[in-house]
Structure 1
Amino acid sequence: MSGRLRQITGGLPAAFWYLWTASLINRTGAVAQIYLGVYLLSVRHFDASYVGLVIGVGGIGTALGALPGGIIADRWGRRPAMLGAAVPAALTMLAMGRATGQAAILILALLLGVFLGIVRPAFAASIIDVVPGSDRIRALNLNYWAFNLGSGAAALLAGLLARIEPMLLFATNAGVLLCSTLLLALKVPETKPADDTAEARRTGLGVVFRDRTFMAFAGLTLLGWALIESNKMLPASLLADGLDITSYGQVIVVNMVLIVLGQLFLLALVARFRHEHVLAASAVLVGTGFGLAAFADTLWAYALTVAVWTLGEMLMTLANSAVTVQLSSPDARGRYQGVFGFALTGAMFLGPTLGGLVAEHFGTATLWAAVFCLGLALAAAHLAAGPARARRVALLQTACTPVDQPAPL
């Protein structure tokens, strides 16, 4: 086991580990972000459709922020994008904890999402910049592992803080966000490649939007992650079944624990299969996990459903990271990450918003049945798109220098 851990974590540069630590710190303190749905339902007593809308608006704000964030990262550098949005994000977080009106909360959720979204493409591009080509997927997987380790801790901490004083959720989240940003400011230098061309920097997002293979992949990623984001409607199911409001934290922590225990060891297994096969399997597992939620009515039954879709999430994350790295042009890395981030975080709008509407008007059982059917459709789409991706990767590999070559398909 220790040898396997050394193989997973060894040989990565110090700059990556500072980025990794900042990610872990930031996510451990993301208590308001994780418990926002529970807070709005139980403290503010809003209905499920409005709660889904708030979470969704925050997601679309993050998606919108990712696009200029990618441009900033490629034109002016990773540090301006990562560091510039921290203070306004923290202030917005504090304001959200004080807000009581529905319109004010929606506006603040949108602004917070934009500020957080600006950071993400630069952060991912920094990891790819500092890590050699053969280790990039491993590094991104380690960062995702840290994200979920912190999320597990945040879910437990959030329940405690919510019982003491709900405002502590927002104050803690804001403070930790500033602390993680300070670490980046002190320890992570500018990583943008110095040899990228002025012409490449001026092309904006067009270079990505014209890449039909990548855009098709981003669209499928949007749908896949929207299915996963429908977990934000689990509190509505739990409350409908008469379970305690804090049970959401106990159920969702299964997601973080399984990822923390298993994510690092899945990379070698996934490497044996083609990515379209892994993505298809992940979509089936995600759909099945949420489909089973229609039959759950106890804490343990919900925990089992979370375990099933979590396995799908783990596989989807690994394959998505690999395909994104493979399809990204080195001189437009921030912009590719920005568009990919738009798809991921756009799902944070699509999943909760549509999920909230379906749950409100048709019930959560109908929602989970729809997610199951969409998971099967997504699996078929990934299988159909696989050959075009393979051809695109082959073309990029012939054009890249050895240090920039993506890992083999």
Structure 2
Amino acid sequence: MFDSFAGLREFDRAVFVVAAARFVNVLGSGIVYPFATLYFYGEVGIPFTLVGTGLFANSVATAGGTLVGGYLADRYGRKPVMVASMALSAPTLAAYALVTSAPTFVAVAAAAGLAAGLFAPASQAMVADLTPDADREQAYGLLKVASNAGFGSGFVVGGLLYGVAHTAVFVADGLTSGVVAVLLAVALPRVSGATEGEADSEAVESSLAATLREWSRAVTQPTILALAVLNVGFAVAYAQMRSTVPVFAEQAFGLTSEQLGTLYVLNPLVIVVFQMPVVSWVRSWRRTRGLALSAVFWAASFVTIVLAHGAPVLVGVGLVGAFLVLRTVGEILHAPLITALASDVGTVEERGSQLSVLEIAKRLGFGIGPVVGGAFFDYGVEALLWPALVGMSLLLGVGVLSLERRVSPAANGRGEAAD
């Protein structure tokens, strides 16, 4: 197990700075997650479908920020974009504490999403710039470990804060983003994108057109487009952990916020313990094979929720715990493999823009997931949601395997691609 961490000593210092920033930032996200849906649905009284609409607005805005962030990271460098994203996120995230109605919720969610969206393509591109192709899965795996160590800590802290003062979780989330902005500004060296240079007046005037052209080139690459479509489906599955599963667990088994927060620690705990060993284990695999296995674990996780319906409390809570473990194994495989695959499919010069396409797709799925799941709950047919998600997950596995012949051996990892 420890051998899987041995290669980390060779990573550039900036990779560890990004990982530390992810830890602090996701600590704030964990404080809010999964209590935001419970608060706006149960306390503020916003209908579940409208809560889903607000989360969809957040995802759409995040996608827009990601588009701009990918371009700016390629044009002006990774560090300025990352610092700006976190500095803007601090007040917008804290503003959730002021929400009292559905329109306000949607507006704040959109503003927070736009600010946050700038960060992901810049940080992912920086890590890709600083690590060799063969080590990229480990680098992205390190970011997952840092994120989920923060997540787990945030769940516990959030459960305690939510039990004392519901809106305190949103203020704490905003504060962590401010801390990250300072950390990045002070500790992160400037790492140039491949095409970075000084902006002149002509570049400024044509920036929007250039953004659209570069993003269009990335989208029209068939493999990038296919990966983006698949990532929408994976993100729909991801979104259920934040939106529908907490509501199901509270309604079916009467879990309190503290109990739910403690149970949700299983997600980051499994990632912290197993992320690097699993990535090391699959390094010799085709990346598409690892992604197909990820889809199988997602399907199995939703089967546990099907079985939890009508189960006794102890059995039901155990099945919710099993859901968290199984979906986390799927996440362990999915996140670093699909990002590494997309990094190697495209060109170095447009890597930020290309990764933004993948991130936009994920955010779209994050937005669709709560809307669809909320509709199942609002119309009283939530029991049908989970079998539908099982089927969708299996289709994702088939889709990944069908993509395999279109991916070059170099981009698909160390396994030899099929002829």
Alignment check: 8 A CA contact 1:41 1:48 kept: yes
Are positions 1:238 and 2:237 aligned together?
no
Q: What's the offset of the Cα at 1:51?
A: 2.5
Q: What's the offset of the Cα at 1:18?
A: 1.0
Structure 2 CA distance for aligned equivalents of residues 53 and 249 of structure 1: 24
1:293 matched residue in structure 2: 305
Query: What do residues 285-319 of structure 1 show as CA deviations (whole Å, max 9, x unaligned)?
Result: 10221122022142112101221222112111232
Q: What's the offset of the Cα at 1:218?
A: 1.1
Alignment check: 8 A CA contact 1:294 1:364 kept: no
Structure 2 CA distance for aligned equivalents of residues 170 and 289 of structure 1: 29
1:206 matched residue in structure 2: 216
Structure 1 CA distance for aligned equivalents of residues 409 and 6 of structure 2: 30
Change (3 A) 1:70 1:408: farther
Q: Which amino acid aligns with 1:76?
A: Y
Alignment check: 8 A CA contact 1:57 1:106 kept: yes
Helix, strand or coil at the partner of 2:10 = coil
Q: Which amino acid aligns with 2:388?
A: A
Moved more, 118-127 or 56-65: 56-65
Structure 2 CA distance for aligned equivalents of residues 362 and 177 of structure 1: 38
Structure 2 CA distance for aligned equivalents of residues 253 and 118 of structure 1: 28
Alignment of structure 1 residues 22-33 onto 2, 5 Å: 22-30=21-29, 31-33=31-33
Q: Which amino acid aligns with 1:294?
A: V
Q: Which amino acid aligns with 1:75?
A: R
TM-score, structure 1 normalization:
0.90
Q: What's the offset of the Cα at 1:196?
A: 6.2
Q: What's the offset of the Cα at 1:225?
A: 1.9
1:403 matched residue in structure 2: none
1:80 matched residue in structure 2: 80
Change (3 A) 1:132 1:384: closer
2:162 matched residue in structure 1: 162
Alignment check: 8 A CA contact 1:222 1:347 kept: yes
Are positions 1:218 and 2:228 aligned together?
yes
Structure 2 CA distance for aligned equivalents of residues 36 and 130 of structure 1: 36
Alignment check: 8 A CA contact 1:62 1:113 kept: yes
Structure 1 runs (4+) deviating above 3 angstroms are: 193-199, 391-394, 406-409
Alignment check: 8 A CA contact 2:87 2:178 kept: yes
Q: Which amino acid aligns with 1:351?
A: G
1:402 matched residue in structure 2: none
Alignment check: 8 A CA contact 1:227 1:287 kept: no
2:349 matched residue in structure 1: 331
Q: Which amino acid aligns with 1:131?
A: T
1:123 matched residue in structure 2: 123
1:272 to 254, 263, 284: 284
1:302 to 320, 325, 332: 320
Structure 2 CA distance for aligned equivalents of residues 303 and 343 of structure 1: 28
Q: What's the offset of the Cα at 1:174?
A: 1.0
Percent identity, aligned pairs only, is: 23
Structure 2 CA distance for aligned equivalents of residues 229 and 12 of structure 1: 32
Are positions 1:42 and 2:53 aligned together?
no
Structure 1 CA distance for aligned equivalents of residues 183 and 95 of structure 2: 24
Q: Which amino acid aligns with 1:245?
A: T
Q: CA RMSD in A?
A: 2.3
Q: What's the offset of the Cα at 1:258?
A: 0.9
1:401 matched residue in structure 2: none
1:228 to 225, 229, 238: 238
Structure 1 CA distance for aligned equivalents of residues 317 and 234 of structure 2: 26
List runs of 5+ in structure 1 lacking aligned partners. Answer: 395-405
Alignment check: 8 A CA contact 1:48 1:360 kept: yes
2:371 matched residue in structure 1: 353
2:383 matched residue in structure 1: 365
Change (3 A) 1:63 1:194: closer
1:253 matched residue in structure 2: 265
Are positions 1:70 and 2:70 aligned together?
yes
List runs of 5+ in structure 2 lacking aligned partners. Answer: none
Structure 2 CA distance for aligned equivalents of residues 91 and 367 of structure 1: 35
Alignment check: 8 A CA contact 1:151 1:256 kept: yes
Instruction: Count matched residues.
Output: 396
Helix, strand or coil at the partner of 2:190 = coil
Alignment check: 8 A CA contact 1:38 1:245 kept: no
Q: Which amino acid aligns with 2:102?
A: Q
Q: What's the offset of the Cα at 1:33?
A: 4.8
Are positions 1:319 and 2:337 aligned together?
yes
Moved more, 45-54 or 285-294: 45-54
Alignment check: 8 A CA contact 1:32 1:158 kept: yes
Q: What's the offset of the Cα at 1:359?
A: 2.5
Q: What's the offset of the Cα at 1:407?
A: 6.9
Helix, strand or coil at the partner of 2:408 = helix
Change (3 A) 1:192 1:33: farther
TM-score, structure 2 normalization:
0.88
